[in-house]
A and B are shown apart, each in its own frame.
Chain A
Amino acid sequence: MNKVPHIEVKDLVCAYGDYLVLRDISFEIKRAEILVIMGRSGCGKSTLLKHMIGLREPAEGKVYYDGKDFTSSSEAERESMLRKFGILYQGGALWSSMTLEENVAFPLEEYTDLKRSQIHDIVEMKLSQVGLKGFQKFYPSELSGGMRKRAGLARAMALDPEILFFDEPTSGLDPISSKRLDDLILNLRDLFNTTVVVVTHELDSIFSIADQAIMLSPKEKTIIGCGNPQELIRNSGDPTVTDFLSRMGGRQPA
C-alpha cells in the first residue's frame, strides 16, 4: 500500500482574525481510514474541517493530500483536489432554491458527462441509500432537520469521492438512522476505500466506526488526545479525554 498518508495536517493554526481557535494541529490519516474529530461544543471542530477543505486559509501550517500541498496550491490544482472531496455540512447546506433531486444531481452535472436519465437513476440510488427515496421533488424547506442532513449526505456521496468529510452527520437523527449511517460509512470505506473524516460527539458512533480519533480542547486550543478510541479511553493520561469518552464515568470501556 501507499506509504504517503492520504491526508496530512502539519502544524496547523486556525484563527478568525486575531481570535485564535486552534494551534499546533498535526495528524495523519492513511487511505481508507476513518478519523473521528471530537471535543466539546465550540472547541473548533467545524473550524478545523473548514481549514482542511480550504474554506478558510490557515494562519500557519499546511494541509497535504496524497503528499501534495493543498494549502499553497494554485486554484486549478485545488479545484482538481476538491473534486475528490465529498462534504456534509453541519446544517446540511442544501441549496434552498433547488429540489432534492437537483441538489444531488448538481455535482454530477457539473463534473460528469452522464445523460439525464443516468443522472436521474444515480440520484434515486443515492437518495435511497440515505432513506429518502420518493422525496426527489421536495424542496429542502419541506424536510425535517434530520432529513436535510441525510439529503446533504446523499449529495456529498454523489461523485463517489475519495475523501468524505462529515460534520456531525448523526446529530438530529434517531438512533436507528444513526446506526444505519454508521453502517453506511463503514461500507463506503470497505467497498470503495473511502477515507472518512467525521466530526461527532456520539460515543456509540465513535466506538463503532473510528480507526483513529483526535480530541480537541477549547482550553488548550489544541489536540489533547490522539489514537484509537478503545485505547484512548484506557490509557490516555488526560482525565478530560477519559471523561469525554466515558461520559464522565457513566460509560464503562467496552
Chain B
Amino acid sequence: MSNYPCTSQLELEENGDILVIRLMGVWEMDRNAPSFQEFVKKGDIRADISELMLEARGLEEWDSSLLFFLNQAKVWADGRSMTFNCDCLPDGLGRMMLQTQRVVDSRVEVKDPEGHPGFAEEVGKHSIRIFRDGSVFANFVGEILLSFLRLLVGKARMRWVDCFRAMQDSGPMALPIVGLISFLVGVTLAFQAADLLGDFGSEFFTPAFVALAMVREMGPIMTGIVLAGRTGAAFASTIGSMKVAEEIDALRTLGVSPLDYLVLPRVIGLSIMTPLVVIYSNALGIIGGMLVSKVKLNMPVQTYVKETFLNIDATDILFGLIKSSVFGVIIAYAGCLRGMNCDSSSTGVGRATTSAVVTSLLFIIVANSIFAVIYSIYEI
C-alpha cells in the first residue's frame, strides 16, 4: 500500500464560526500521520469559532493514527467548549471513535497520583521500608522455626520429594561447577602462597596455607556462592511462580501450611547437603594446590599430603562444615522468603529471583564475618 501518492492529508477551512477540517488521503501510522497539536499550532485559529466539523470525503485508507488524531481534536474542542461535529465522518469511523471515547469516560479514579516526594519524605519512606523488611526477615525465621517444631512433634506434613529434589539439585547436580571453581581457587591460593612465602624462604608451608584457607574459608564461601546462584535462585522462582498462579493459596485453603509443605523440605535439604558439597570442594581445592606445588615447587605428592594433614585438624574441618550448614540454611531461607513474598506478576518472579541471590550472598558474607569473630575469640 506504500505506493499511494503521499498527498496532503488535511485541509482547514473557516466557514463563519465553524472550523472545518477535511481529512484526505492515506492515514497510516508509519506514514507520518499529522499530529493535531502541531496542526493547531501552525494555523492560527480565531477565538470566536464555536464548532469543529470534520469531513472525510477524500479519505482513502486509515488506521489508529486517524483515531488518535480525532481524539485529540475532540479533547481540544471540548477544552474550548466547542461543538464537536463528526456527523460527516464515515459510519465505522464514527462508531469506533465513540467507543474509544467511552473507554476514556468510564475510567475510574484509583489512588491519588502522588507528587514528587521531597528529600525528607524519601528518607522517611526508606527508613520505614527498611524497618518493615527487617520485621519480614525476622518473622520468616520464626515461622520456619515453628514449622520445624511441628515437624519434630510429627504434626507437619512435609513434601519429602521436594527435600530430595533440593538435595539432588544442590548436591550431585552442582558438583561439576563447584569442583571446577574450587580447583581453580586451590590453584590460585597455591600460586599466591608459593610466591609470598617464597620471599621468606618458607614455601614449604604452601600446603598448610592452602589447606587452612580452603577448609576454613574458601570451600564454604565458594560453595555458598555457587549454591546461592543455582539453588537459591531456583527456589525463589519456583515458589514465586507458585504464588503467582495462586498455587500457594490453594494449599492454604486446604489447610496445608506452605511453610511445612514447601519451605521446610528445602531448608532441611540444603542444610544437609551443603556440608557434603563443601567436603568435596575442600578436597578439590587441596588437589589444585597439590598440582601447583608439584609443578612449581617440585614438592612430592606424599609430602604435600603429609603436610596438609599435619596442619589441619578435625576442629578446622568441623568448623567449616558447621559454617556451611548455616550457609545452606541461609540460601534456602533467602530463596523461599523471596519466593513467598513475590509480587503477583512475571516481573515479580524475576525480581524475587534476583533479590534471593543478593540477599543470600549478603547474609553469607555477614554470617561468615560473625563466624570469624567467634573463631578468633575462642581460638578454636
Task: From the candidates A55, A95, A155, name the one contacting B252 in the complex (CB within 8 A).
Answer: A55
Which DSSP category, helix, strand, loop or mixed, fits chain A's interface? Answer: loop
* Cα distance A239–B33 in the bound complex, in angstroms: 40
CB-CB < 8 A to A219: which residues of B?
Answer: 108
Would you call B255 and A89 a contact (CB within 8 A)? no
Q: How far is the CB of B158 from chain A (nearest CB, A)?
A: 13
Q: How far is the CB of B239 from chain A (nearest CB, A)?
A: 11
Q: A53-B253, A79-B255 are in contact. Are A90 and B246 (CB under 8 A)?
A: yes
Minimum CB distance partner of B110 in chain A? A19
A186 contacts partner chain B, Cβ-Cβ < 8 Å: no
Q: A89-B246, A110-B157 are in contact. Are A96 and B241 (CB under 8 A)?
A: yes
* Cα distance A95–B251 in the bound complex, in angstroms: 9
* Cα distance A55–B248 in the bound complex, in angstroms: 10
A70 contacts partner chain B, Cβ-Cβ < 8 Å: no
Would you call B247 and A85 a contact (CB within 8 A)? no
Task: From the candidates A54, A55, A93, name the one contacting B247 in the complex (CB within 8 A).
Answer: A93
Would you call B246 and A110 a contact (CB within 8 A)? no
Would you call B247 and A218 a contact (CB within 8 A)? no
Tell me the A19-57 residues at the B interface (CB within 8 Å).
Answer: 19, 50, 53-55
* Cα distance A128–B111 in the bound complex, in angstroms: 46
Tell me the B227-249 residues at the A interface (CB within 8 Å).
Answer: 241-242, 245-247, 249
Q: Annotate A72-94 by CB proximity to B: 1 below 8 A, 0 otherwise.
A: 00000001001101010111111
Task: From the candidates B242, B246, B255, name the one contacting A82 in the complex (CB within 8 A).
Answer: B255
Q: How large is the interface on B (under 10, 10 to 19, 20 to 34, 35 or more residues)?
A: 10 to 19
B254 contacts partner chain A, Cβ-Cβ < 8 Å: yes
Minimum CB distance partner of A158 in chain B? B254
Most B-side CB within 10 Å, residue of A90, A93, A218, A219: A93
A106 contacts partner chain B, Cβ-Cβ < 8 Å: yes
A5 contacts partner chain B, Cβ-Cβ < 8 Å: no
Q: How far is the CB of A37 from chain B (nearest CB, A)?
A: 17
Would you call A110 and B254 a contact (CB within 8 A)? yes
CB-CB < 8 A to B157: which residues of A?
Answer: 110
Minimum CB distance partner of B249 in chain A? A55
Would you call B241 and A83 a contact (CB within 8 A)? no
Which DSSP category, helix, strand, loop or mixed, fits chain B's interface? Answer: loop
B96 contacts partner chain A, Cβ-Cβ < 8 Å: no
Tell me the A104-120 residues at the B interface (CB within 8 Å).
Answer: 106-107, 110
B156 contacts partner chain A, Cβ-Cβ < 8 Å: no
Would you call B254 and A107 a contact (CB within 8 A)? yes
CB-CB < 8 A to A93: which residues of B?
Answer: 245-247, 249-250
Tell me the B193-249 residues at the A interface (CB within 8 Å).
Answer: 241-242, 245-247, 249
Would you call B249 and A82 a contact (CB within 8 A)? no
CB-CB < 8 A to B254: which residues of A?
Answer: 82, 106-107, 110
* Cα distance A219–B107 in the bound complex, in angstroms: 10
* Cα distance A91–B245 in the bound complex, in angstroms: 7
B256 contacts partner chain A, Cβ-Cβ < 8 Å: yes
* Cα distance A50–B242 in the bound complex, in angstroms: 17
Q: A91-B245, A95-B247, A96-B245 are in contact. Are A54 and B253 (CB under 8 A)?
A: yes
Q: Annotate A187-230 by CB proximity to B: 1 below 8 A, 0 otherwise.
A: 00000000000000000000000000000001100000000000
Would you call A19 and B246 a contact (CB within 8 A)? no
Q: Annotate B101-137 by CB proximity to A: 1 below 8 A, 0 otherwise.
A: 0000000101100000000000000000000000000
Q: How far is the CB of A216 from chain B (nearest CB, A)?
A: 13
CB-CB < 8 A to A110: which residues of B?
Answer: 157, 254-256
* Cα distance A155–B108 in the bound complex, in angstroms: 36
CB-CB < 8 A to A90: which residues of B?
Answer: 246
Minimum CB distance partner of B241 in chain A? A96
Q: How far is the CB of B298 from chain A (nearest CB, A)?
A: 54
Task: From the candidates A19, A87, A218, name the one contacting B250 in the complex (CB within 8 A).
Answer: A87
CB-CB < 8 A to B111: which residues of A?
Answer: 19
CB-CB < 8 A to B110: which residues of A?
Answer: 19
Q: Annotate A4-28 by CB proximity to B: 1 below 8 A, 0 otherwise.
A: 0000000000000001000000000
Q: A218-B108, A219-B108 are in contact. Are A82 and B253 (CB under 8 A)?
A: yes
A-B contact pairs, 21 of them (CB 8 A): A19-B110, A53-B253, A54-B253, A55-B249, A55-B252, A55-B253, A79-B255, A82-B255, A83-B255, A85-B253, A87-B250, A89-B246, A90-B246, A91-B245, A91-B246, A92-B245, A93-B247, A96-B241, A96-B245, A106-B254, A155-B250
- Which residues of A does B touch, CB under 8 Å? 19, 50, 53-55, 79, 82-83, 85, 87, 89-96, 106-107, 110, 155, 218-219
Q: Which 9 A-B pairs have the closest CB atoms?
A: A93-B246, A79-B255, A93-B250, A89-B246, A82-B255, A218-B108, A87-B253, A95-B247, A93-B247
A82-B253, A89-B249, A219-B108 are known contacts; what are 4 more A-B pairs with Cβ within 8 Å?
A53-B253, A89-B246, A93-B247, A155-B250
